Amino acid sequence: MKTAVVTGGASGIGLGIARRLRSNGFHVASLDLNPPADDDFAYRADVTEPEQIAEALTAIRGKLGPVTVLVNAAGVDGFKRFQNISFEEWQRVIDVNLNGVFHCVHAVLPDMLAAGWGRIVNISSSSTHSGQPFMTHYVSAKSAVNGLTKALALELGPSGITVNAVPPGFIDTPMLRKNEEARRLGGTVEDHIQRTPVRRVGTPEDIAAACAFLISEEAGYITGQILGVNGGRNT
């Protein structure tokens, strides 16, 4: 049985991915800031803190064995006019969304290299296709994640490891509902559904399905790709 780590696995998209991989027969551990106390496979780690990641991974390896699948879903957004973003706010968004991916890949890569097999999926954002006002820090970080995905795929291909990104668009999670409530979406979720070609909001399961495919054995010839899952909002 292969072992997968999903960052941000306690909520929204990460939770959907963790559930799907579990039902596909993987051991799944999640890394979160606030893991649920009743989940034996949820570990506390801030993805910006390499020591916390290392500590969690030691525990995960001890319980579930080497980690050969990594899904980077932990993320934070931010909405502010560019001139009002402080450098600290800028750095925190870059730190979680981009540097968190760096730290987590570094932490699991030795297991994948030793196995001669691995799957890395990075959850970026559809805002990298279109841009998004008031989210320059977030769009910059997520665009860099797409770049990292492409470059790392070329490096790790010869070692049997694929690296792909899934940029979600408009997925019904606590993050989306929080932004609807704060009136940051330029309308309600229902308004947006009318502007979405497939006429519905996306679900964590939609993203999980794409991840499950990219992680599967049959996706071994797919690497360095950015697979948009957005109901046709971005083509």
In the chain, which ranges are continuous DSSP H helix? 12-23, 50-64, 87-94, 100-115, 127-130, 136-156, 174-181, 189-194, 204-215
Q: Output 11 or 164, the one with its CB closest to ligand NAP.
A: 11
Applying CB under 6 A, the span of 18-26, 80-88, 106-114, 118-126 interacting with ligand NAP comes to 118-126
Q: Which of 67, 139, 156, 171 binds ligand NAP (CB under 6 A)?
A: 171
Q: Output 109 or 135, the one with its CB closest to ligand NAP.
A: 135
Q: Which of 2, 41, 70, 75 binds ligand NAP (CB under 6 A)?
A: 75
Residue from 46, 57, 64 nearest 107 by CA? 57
| Min CB(148)–ligand NAP separation in Å | 14
115 is a site residue for ligand NAP (CB under 6 A): no
Residues across the chain: 235
221 is an active site residue: no
Q: Which of 17, 112, 123, 229 binds ligand NAP (CB under 6 A)?
A: 123
122 is a site residue for ligand NAP (CB under 6 A): no
Q: Which of 2, 4, 6, 8 binds ligand NAP (CB under 6 A)?
A: 8
- Cα R_g (the chain), whole angstroms: 17
- Cα end-to-end span (Å), the chain: 36
Q: Output 132 or 159, the one with its CB closest to ligand NAP.
A: 132
φ/ψ bin of 133: left (φ > 0), alpha (ψ from -120 to 50), beta (otherwise): beta
Torsion of Cα atoms, 26 then 202 then 128 then 145, to 10°? -10
Q: Under rule CB under 6 A, which residues in 22-41 are in contact with ligand NAP? A: 31-34
**Residue 75 main-chain phi, psi, to 5 deg:** -165, 155
Quick check: 223 and 162 in contact, CB under 8 A? yes
Write down the catalytic residue from 28, 138, 170, 214: 138
Q: Which residues are tagged catalytic?
A: 138
Residue ranges in contact with ligand NAP by CB under 6 A: 7-8, 10-14, 31-34, 46-48, 73-77, 96, 123, 125-126, 168-171, 173-176
